[in-house]
């Protein structure tokens, strides 16, 4: 009898062993100590002050890791339920969920136009007339991002000076938002779309964005702390993770960051809340219409690129499709990732500005959870591509023409050169895999040239970023040449003024010409130095914060230079009639004046003045 009982037990154990892969899929139950060690290694590698990692599968929390410190000065350790992280654009996921939820409740279809649901004058704004809910949700409005003056150096916790509704009204009426490409054509990731989502949420619900998000979305999923923080409540015992810049082994505390537009730019949360969210998403409790919108591919710029769903970018990790939303502020970063086929969710947040740490942690975690990443196999090379035809400079079109963000079109240009059957895109080699498609195996990145009906290059799409060929006046090389020649001739003018100052009075008595030319030269020098400083320090955060010292100096010096151009021109006309002014001196100052005119045009083109 005892032997029969043992046999039954053995059979049951064998059955459970066989069923384990079916219960957990390809994801093995993680070893907590191994994950702690893995994350600690990357924290050391990237000098991260503190980090949290949550892993959820099938509604169960498999791992909830808190490591390091939320504040180094005060020695406050990271806590799963009490440490608040600023996750930046992760808020876009929740905004999209809220709008999908309201659309389901009100029966609105994705292809309906948004204009009838927009309040006041926004409903008649030309840029919004033909847009549909689908365009806004999958970022195919064609409207570029516009982040100018979208954040403050202030504490994000507590009541705000202005509600989202007030901020949105001021923002949406200030700019035209003219699409840079035809709506519905390409995915062009833009924070404007998420701001529109926030406005639509208020219109459809009859509540403020903050109230609806907190009471109708976050609280029902158990995200109590996040809901209170959205409403501006200050809760005892909660600590905001201090954001840090890490450079050369030194960790420097940064100023606080407060986003103006909650639907697009910032989300305050804890690891416990994000675990609750991932549990809701992987346990089947989320409305199927919302779930399907979030985890179904809705748009793609290329047949070879996975593209976007409503709320997520879709990327590939080996054989797995992952739905990813990254976010961050200066000195803090986060990533929310789902692999629907494994019903797996991962959340990462840490208080450092390092982007590389996010990629390294994701790679390590997926490797630990799913075993070896499947080899994508690459693509077969193609020998018939006319690679020479693709050479040139290309500029991104996802930066607004309506603010100083337009400088991004110069700073972030890519230079393409043909090398045999390959393209060099900046410093990366891309192999031809079709007549207009190229692939970089090292980064697993596709670059595809889209042709117009005449066979001419219309756009270059790298991943989900869209570029167009830079016109000659906007070429980085032209801008650099203009700056170099301006510096050279301005230095020559300054040397002449220094060496010949005593003999530069017109007709031996008039001081005005030389004084005006000196002022023009000095201010032009300040202008060029400021432009040089911006070119070496340009950071989108400067734009988000509404500028910095160098941007202000460029604007001031640019205005003064433009005001002095005509007086300088008139004074030089007087001076050239004086016999002591040589032809070379007149030539130097004349070229200087021409270059200053071109520089003012360049500044105007990029919204500096």
| pLDDT score of 259 more than 90 | yes
Given a contact cutoff of 8 angstroms between Cβ atoms, the answer to whether 290 and 100 are in contact is yes
Given a contact cutoff of 8 angstroms between Cβ atoms, the answer to whether 104 and 94 are in contact is no
pLDDT for the residue numbered 20: 42
Distance linking the first and last C-alpha atoms of the chain: 94
Residues 6+ apart with CB under 8 A from 300: 187, 306, 307, 308
What is the DSSP secondary structure assignment for residue 181, as one 8-state letter? S
Q: How confident is the model at residue 161 (pLDDT cuts 50, 70, 90)?
A: confident
Q: How confident is the model at residue 148 (pLDDT cuts 50, 70, 90)?
A: confident
Q: How confident is the model at residue 373 (pLDDT cuts 50, 70, 90)?
A: low
pLDDT for the residue numbered 547: 67
| pLDDT score of 192 more than 70 | yes
Nearest to 576 by CA among 587, 592, 561, 566: 587
**Segment 548-595, tens digit of pLDDT:** 678 889 889 999 999 999 999 999 999 988 888 999 999 999 999 999
Of 2-6, 239-243, 378-382, which range is least confident?
2-6
pLDDT for the residue numbered 26: 60
- E strand or H helix at 194, and its extent? helix 191-205
Note the residue count of the chain: 609
Nearest to 277 by CA among 374, 324, 346, 209: 346
| pLDDT score of 158 more than 90 | no
Higher pLDDT, 408 or 242: 242
pLDDT for the residue numbered 478: 82
Nearest to 192 by CA among 119, 135, 268: 135
Given a contact cutoff of 8 angstroms between Cβ atoms, the answer to whether 287 and 98 are in contact is no
pLDDT for the residue numbered 407: 79
**Segment 203-231, tens digit of pLDDT:** 999 999 999 999 999 999 999 999 999 99
Alpha-carbon gap, residue 324 to 74, rounded angstroms: 33
| pLDDT score of 93 more than 60 | yes
Nearest to 473 by CA among 606, 573, 586: 606
| pLDDT score of 419 more than 70 | yes
| pLDDT score of 19 more than 50 | no
Q: How confident is the model at residue 22 (pLDDT cuts 50, 70, 90)?
A: very low
Q: How confident is the model at residue 197 (pLDDT cuts 50, 70, 90)?
A: very high
**Segment 300-357, tens digit of pLDDT:** 888 888 889 999 999 888 788 999 999 999 999 999 999 999 999 999 999 999 999 9
* Residue 328, strand partner residues: 333
**DSSP 3-state helix, strand, coil percentages of the chain (rounded to 5)?**
45, 20, 35
68: left (phi over 0), alpha (psi -120 to 50) or beta: left
User: Helix, strand, or coil here: 566?
Assistant: helix
Q: What is the mean pLDDT of residues 534-550?
A: 76
**Segment 504-524, tens digit of pLDDT:** 988 877 889 999 999 999 999
Given a contact cutoff of 8 angstroms between Cβ atoms, the answer to whether 133 and 110 are in contact is yes
CA dihedral over 566, 568, 574, 577, signed as positive or negative: negative
Q: What is the mean pLDDT of residues 133-151?
A: 92
Q: How confident is the model at residue 15 (pLDDT cuts 50, 70, 90)?
A: very low
Higher pLDDT, 13 or 515: 515
Higher pLDDT, 555 or 196: 196
Return the percentage of the chain with pLDDT > 70, whole number.
94
Return the percentage of the chain with pLDDT > 90, whole number.
60
pLDDT for the residue numbered 253: 95
pLDDT for the residue numbered 531: 85
| pLDDT score of 9 more than 50 | no
| pLDDT score of 8 more than 80 | no
pLDDT for the residue numbered 4: 55
| pLDDT score of 441 more than 90 | no
pLDDT for the residue numbered 6: 52
Q: How confident is the model at residue 123 (pLDDT cuts 50, 70, 90)?
A: confident
- Average pLDDT over the chain, rounded to an integer: 89
* Domains within the chain, CATH numbers bracketed: 32-370 (3.40.710.10), 387-470 (no CATH), 474-605 (no CATH)
pLDDT for the residue numbered 288: 95
Q: How confident is the model at residue 404 (pLDDT cuts 50, 70, 90)?
A: confident
Burial of 569 (0-12, 13-18, 19+ CB in 10 A): middle
Strand order across the 83-86 sheet: 239-240, 83-86, 268-269
Strand 83-86 and strand 239-240: pairing? parallel
pLDDT for the residue numbered 377: 60
Q: How many CB atoms lie under 10 A from the CB of residue 92? A: 25
Q: What is the mean pLDDT of residues 287-310?
A: 92
| pLDDT score of 542 more than 50 | yes
Of 75-79, 165-169, 354-358, 380-384, which range is least confident?
380-384
Q: Calculate the CA 607 to chain-centre distance.
A: 20
């Amino acid at each position: 009898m005892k032997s029969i009982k043992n046999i039954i037990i053995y059979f049951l154990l064998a059955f459970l062993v066989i069923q384990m892969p079916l219960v957990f899929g390809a994801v093995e139950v993680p070893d907590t100590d191994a994950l702690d060690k893995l994350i600690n290694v990357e924290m050391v590698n990237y000098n991260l002050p503190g980090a949290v990692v949550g892993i959820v599968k099938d509604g169960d929390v498999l791992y909830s890791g808190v490591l390091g410190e939320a504040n180094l000065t005060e020695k406050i350790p990271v806590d799963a339920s009490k440490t608040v992280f600023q996750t930046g654009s992760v808020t876009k996921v929740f905004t999209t969920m809220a709008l999908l939820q309201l659309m389901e409740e009100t029966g609105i279809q994705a292809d309906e136009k948004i204009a009838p649901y927009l309040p006041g004058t926004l409903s008649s704004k030309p840029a919004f007339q033909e847009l549909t809910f689908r365009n806004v949700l999958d970022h195919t409005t064609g409207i570029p991002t516009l982040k100018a003056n979208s954040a403050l150096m202030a504490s994000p916790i507590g009541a705000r000076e202005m509600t989202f509704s007030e901020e949105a009204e001021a923002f949406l009426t200030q700019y035209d938002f003219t699409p840079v490409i035809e709506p519905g054509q390409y995915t062009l990731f833009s924070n404007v779309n998420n701001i529109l989502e926030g406005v639509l949420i208020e219109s459809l619900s009859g509540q403020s964005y903050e109230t609806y998000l907190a009471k109708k979305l976050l609280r029902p999923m158990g995200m109590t702390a996040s809901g209170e923080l959205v409403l501006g409540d200050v809760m005892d015992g909660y600590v905001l993770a201090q954001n840090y810049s890490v450079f050369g082994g030194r960790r420097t505390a940064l100023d606080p960051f407060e986003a103006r537009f909650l639907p697009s730019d910032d989300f305050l949360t804890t690891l416990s809340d994000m675990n609750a969210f991932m549990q809701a998403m992987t346990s089947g409790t989320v409305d199927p219409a919302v779930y399907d919108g979030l985890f179904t591919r809705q748009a793609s710029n290329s047949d070879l690129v996975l593209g976007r769903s409503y709320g997520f970018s879709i990327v590939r990790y080996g054989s797995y499709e992952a739905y990813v939303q990254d976010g961050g502020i200066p000195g803090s970063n986060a990533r929310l990732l789902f692999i629907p086929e494994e019903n797996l969710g991962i959340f990462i947040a840490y208080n450092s500005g390092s982007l590389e740490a996010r990629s390294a942690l994701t790679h390590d975690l997926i490797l630990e959870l799913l075993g070896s990443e499947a080899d994508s196999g690459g693509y077969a090379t193609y020998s018939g591509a006319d690679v020479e035809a693709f050479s040139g400079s290309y500029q991104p079109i996802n930066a607004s023409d309506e603010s100083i963000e337009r400088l991004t079109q110069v700073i972030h240009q890519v230079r393409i050169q043909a090398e045999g059957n390959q393209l060099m895109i900046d410093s990366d080699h891309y192999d031809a895999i079709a007549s207009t498609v190229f692939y970089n195996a090292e980064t697993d990145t596709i670059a595809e040239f889209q042709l117009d009906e005449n066979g001419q290059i219309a756009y270059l799409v790298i991943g989900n970023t869209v570029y167009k060929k830079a016109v000659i006046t906007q070429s980085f090389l032209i801008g650099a040449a203009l700056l170099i020649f301006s510096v050279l001739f301005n230095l020559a003018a300054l040397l002449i003024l220094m060496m010949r100052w005593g003999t530069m009075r017109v007709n031996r008595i008039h001081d005005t010409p030389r004084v005006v030319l000196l002022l023009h030269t000095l201010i032009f020098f300040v202008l060029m130095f400021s432009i040089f400083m911006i070119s070496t320090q340009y950071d989108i955060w400067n734009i988000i914060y509404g500028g910095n010292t160098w941007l202000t100096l460029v604007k001031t010096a640019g205005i003064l230079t433009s005001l002095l151009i005509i007086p300088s021109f008139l004074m030089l006309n007087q001076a050239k009639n004086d016999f002591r002014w040589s032809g070379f001196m007149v030539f130097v100052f004349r070229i200087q004046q021409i270059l200053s005119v071109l520089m003012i045009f360049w500044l105007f083109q990029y919204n500096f003045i």
